[in-house]
Structures are given as structure tokens and as C-alpha cells.
Amino acid sequence: MSSWFTNRADAVRLDETFQLTEVPHVDAEKFEPIERAAIERLVTEQQGSLVRLQSDVLEMRAERTALERQLSTLESERGRLQERIGELEATRPSLEPTAVFSNLGAALQEVDEDLKGERYRVDDVDFRLKTNVIQTDEGLRMHLPSLDESSASANLSEVSFRLRAPRGETDAEQPSYVDVPDLRGVPYEVAARRLASAELTVGTVERAVDPDTTPGTVIEQFPDAFSVAEAEAPIDLVIAADPDPGPDGRTAERETTNETEGSQDESRTDTRERAPRSGGDASEDDAPTADDDERNQAEPFRRAIAEVAPEHGKAVVDRLRRAGVTDPESLRRFDPDELAARLSIPTEVVDELQAELGGKRDPVPLEEVSGIGPTYAGRLRDAGVHGVSQLATLDPGTVSDLARVSTGRAEEWIEQARRLSGES
């Protein structure tokens, strides 16, 4: 470029936002064509730069305006949040963590005191709190939301901790409970040993005359068998006593005795009605003879029960006899659940006795009936029909429902059963 081109510094002026530079006044006729073209190109580029600068300035002004509006919105939001914080601090004061734990511990201690009379206690308790945890100049603080306050769970911190029971207390101070054994039907000495083994003691012992029970055998107990009692708790017993005739010729049926103190308590004496017997030695000799005859008649039944349930033995026999069950036929007449409740023995034992002893009374099995195979016989036995003599007493509708067959086939089975059992 020719040295004739000069840039005048005084031609530059400032605007508010950007500078405008005026092209110096030159005489274009004095330049060569190449120089004129270069000058024109520079002027064109300068004008384009000015246009771009103006566009950038406008964009920056628009962005600044948007930022100013956003800043104003944030300042307004900050003001509202500050007001909300002030309200929360006024209605929900901050708490020190130690104060929270102390309040919970005091509440649990009050509950523990209330439960002492009921033999319960409060042990270790786990807590999970939802709270706002903040750091202040005075240390860590907690803001616990109230019940009527709605707050987003995600905005709350979760604090988990455990309050332990005082370490000074021992488990030995708490009462322990044991199962009460079944003592009915066993001699008093055996009952005392069982109570000692179960960490229980013998309480008040009453004596009552029971002609169907061997003297010295426990006939009642309180609490009942299979219940729960505290360790070393007393168990009251009623023991069968020897029949002693009174001064008026009548037998005192119940005599109350406290074995633990070694003295009788007349206030608890009870009597049962019993037929008067003639005095003298003859009455004393007749009673054992009648008992011996009854025992001799029930001896086969007793031996059969001992074979089926050896772990229960004599206790089950005595209870069955008191309930009027002295043979397999009478055993079958009772409902298993009802008999088990009356005898205070498991239902499974009664089911086993009825299946083993009662089932032997019918010599003709169900399979002797034409058309009854193992499947139908199993269905009938599950319903309590163990032989053809029982089948002969049922109606066709019942047999149809039990074996799940047609009524016509059930009628044929019943007719065959009656012929086989001799009831036709």
C-alpha cells in the first residue's frame, strides 16, 4: 500500500457502547487501481465488523436484561425463604441432639416404670427420625417437623439410633416361666418329683375320696396341665384318699390337708354324696372285693392301652374309667376331641387308641364288600367307617358322599354289608 494513506487519530469518536471509525478523506483518483481495490476491501471489512459488533451489543443487552430479571426473581425467592425460615424458627424451635435423646430416654423410662407392675420391661429400642439437620454458630441443631406439617420426605434427613436399657439391670431379675406338667393319674410322690424337675413346688394338697381312683393318686391340679406358671410357683393338688367312715356312720368324702405345712385346713373341707354303707368289717371287705372285680374286668382293656400308649400308662386308664370308658365299645362312642378335652390329654392319643382298640371290634374289613377297593376303603375309614358292621348302619346318601360314588352303588354296598354282618 502506498505511504500516502494515513490514519487520522482525531477522526475516532466514542459512542456509549462501541467505537465508530471514520474512513479518512482521500483522493481516490491519485491511487492506482490495485490500491483503490485494497482500500475498498478494507472499508467493506470494517463496515461488516461494525455490523457484527452492533449485533453482539444487542445480544449482550438482551442477555443482561434477562439476567437482571432472573436476579430479581432470585432475590424475591430469597426474601420469601428468609421469611419462611423465620416462621419455622418461631413455630418449630431448633433442638440439640442431646435434648432429643434425653427426652426420648425420659419417656421410655416412664413407660418402663408403668410396666413394672405388669412384669414387663422396656429393653433396647431402635429409632428412625426424619428431621432437618442444620449447622449453626452454636453447633448442630435439629428441626423436627410437626404432625400437621407437610414436608417432602426427600428434603428431610434420616437419623437412626438405639436407646439401650440400663446396663446395671440383669436378666436374672426378670421372672421366668415354665410349663406345668400333667400330674393327674400319678401317685403323689411321682407328682412331687415331676414338679421339682419342672422347677415348681407343691402347694396346697387336698384329699378327697374317689372310689374309682387308687388312694394316693392325683385326681385334680391347679393350674391345669400344659399351662404356664412362674418358676417355683406352687401347684395345688387334690389326692384320692382312703375311705374312712365318720362318727355317724357316713363317709367323709373330702378332707383338706396342707402337705407343705403338715397340718389340716378345715375351712377347705368339702364333701361328696355317697351311698351309706353298713358299719363293721363286712363293709370294709366288700368294697375292695367290688373294686377287685372291676379291675379284673378292665384288666384286658388296661393292658391293651398300655401296649398302644405305653408312655401314658395308668394315668390314661384311670381317666378313661372316670369318664365311663372301660372297654373298646365305649371308647368308640366318644368324639375324639370331646374325650381329649375331658381327659386333658392330646387328641392324637385318643385317635390312636380308637384306631388301635376300637377298630378291632369289627372282624370283617370293608374290602370284603364287592366293589370296595383300597381307595374307597381308605375314604370310608377316613370318615370313621372301619368295618362292614358300621357300613351296614349307614344310609345310601351318606355312603355316597363319603366314598364319592353313586347312590346305586352305595345301596349295593350296604346290602352286602348287612348280609356279611348278619343284619339283613
Q: Is residue 340 part of a domain?
A: yes
Q: Is residue 292 part of a domain?
A: no
Q: What is the pLDDT of residues 360-402, one digit of tens each?
A: 444 578 888 988 988 888 888 888 788 888 888 889 999 988 9
Q: Is residue 291 part of a domain?
A: no
What is the per-residue pLDDT for 285? 42
Q: Is residue 350 part of a domain?
A: yes
Among candidate residues 31, 59, 91, the one where a domain is terminated: 91
Q: Are 397 and 415 members of one domain?
A: yes
DSSP H/E element including 13: strand 12-14
Q: Which three three-digit cell numbers place residue 134?
A: 442444620
* Helices 336-343, 314-322: inter-axial angle, 10-degree rounding: 110
* CB neighbourhood size of 332 (10 A): 18
13: left (phi over 0), alpha (psi -120 to 50) or beta: beta
Q: Are 250 and 182 members of one domain?
A: yes
* CB neighbourhood size of 210 (10 A): 21
Q: Are 28 and 47 members of one domain?
A: yes
Q: Are 402 and 414 members of one domain?
A: yes
Q: Does residue 3 have a pLDDT over 50? A: no
Phi, psi torsion values for 292, nearest 5 degrees: -65, -40
Q: Are 239 and 155 members of one domain?
A: no
Residue 221: which CATH number?
A: 3.30.10.20
Q: Does residue 112 have a pLDDT over 50? A: yes
Dihedral angle, C-alpha 290, 296, 298, 303, nearest 10 °:
150
Q: Is residue 288 part of a domain?
A: no
What is the per-residue pLDDT for 269? 36
Q: What is the pLDDT of residues 139-181, one digit of tens each?
A: 777 766 666 666 667 767 777 777 766 655 444 456 788 889 9
Which domain does 154 fall in, by range?
92-166
Average pLDDT in the 232-244 region?
84
Most confident segment among 123-127, 185-189, 294-298: 185-189
Q: Is residue 282 part of a domain?
A: no
Q: Are 270 and 179 members of one domain?
A: yes
Q: Is residue 279 part of a domain?
A: no
What is the per-residue pLDDT for 76? 92
Q: Are 244 and 185 members of one domain?
A: yes
Task: List the beta strands (DSSP E) in 200-316.
Answer: 201-209, 218-222, 228-230, 234-241, 254-258, 263-264
Q: Are 184 and 243 members of one domain?
A: yes
Domain total for the chain?
Answer: 5
Q: Are 161 and 183 members of one domain?
A: no
Q: Are 106 and 87 members of one domain?
A: no
- Interatomic CA distance for residues 318 and 219, integer angstroms: 9
Q: Is residue 290 part of a domain?
A: no
Among candidate residues 91, 125, 143, the one where a domain is terminated: 91
Q: What is the pLDDT of residues 60-75, one digit of tens each?
A: 999 999 999 999 999 9
Q: Are 50 and 14 members of one domain?
A: yes
| Burial group, residue 418, by CB count within 10 angstroms (0-12, 13-18, 19+) | middle
C-alpha closest to that of 327 among 369, 298, 284: 298
C-alpha closest to that of 423 among 360, 357, 364: 364
Q: Are 223 and 132 members of one domain?
A: no
Among candidate residues 73, 91, 109, the one where a domain is terminated: 91
Average pLDDT in the 20-37 region?
70
Greater model confidence, 265 or 299: 299
